[in-house]
Amino acid sequence: MKKADNENFRGRLKPPNNNQTSVFVLDDREEEKYTKPRLHVMVALFVFVSTTVLLYFAVDFVVGSIDALTSQTPIPKTIVSIILLPIPNSDFSAIKLTINDQLDDAMDCTIGKCLQSALFVTPLAVLVAWGMGVEGVTLVFDGFEVVSLFAAILLLNFLMTEDKVSWIQGVLLLADCGLIALAAFFATV
């Protein structure tokens, strides 16, 4: 490095004089204090395994009761699979963020969870079903599923182009869900 370059570089690092303004802004927020984990590793592992086992039995009960629900009521299986089954899967942290007026974080949380389901969980379920020898679990979607998914993604993409989120966008997304539910009720899949 040349001496002139070194002096030029050093000149940039000098603190401002009294007549210059500082570009640094002090942050008045308190720093986050990190604490040690409250649970021992073995206790956390036990809680994780036990909730996974309980979740398995709950999911098995819900999936086993779908046939009884659709045979005893006029609700088609399409409504149950597209509308009713995702409701327990909804993330309540997104609802809490929305109540606390953190709409952008709630949208990020919801869209992130949808992407995880679409890009990881669904292909993983297909691979696990293939490994177990279960037939019929594929990534082949019929026309109704493709069109409804495309319409929902198109509307969501249109609504997410703005930087702000408003209540009317939520109403539009709920209306889209209602239209898909209405179409699923009359669809013969």
153 & 65 share domain: no
**Residue 140 belongs to domain spanning:** 75-189
Mean pLDDT of 129-149: 87
Task: Please give the single-letter amino acid code of residue 139.
Answer: L
86 & 61 share domain: no
**Contact status, residue 49 vs residue 41, Cβ threshold 8 Å:** no
**Top-confidence residue, 27 or 129:** 129
pLDDT for 83 equals 79
158 & 135 share domain: yes
Instruction: Tell whether 68 is covered by a domain.
Output: yes
CA dihedral 66, 68, 72, 78 (to 10 degrees): 20
Instruction: Tell whether 88 is covered by a domain.
Output: yes
- CA dist 164 and 187 (Å) reads 35
114 & 60 share domain: no
115 & 169 share domain: yes
Where is the domain boundary, 28, 47, 73? 73
pTM: 0.57
Distance from the first to the final alpha carbon of the chain: 72
Give the pLDDT band of residue 43 (cuts 50, 70, 90): very high
Task: Check pLDDT > 60 for residue 17.
Answer: no
79 & 125 share domain: yes
- CA dist 176 and 120 (Å) reads 25
Considering the chain, what is the average pLDDT of its residues? 78
Where is the domain boundary, 20, 52, 73? 73
**Which of 119, 66, 120 is closest to 88 using CA atoms?**
66
What is the number of structural domains in the chain?
Answer: 2
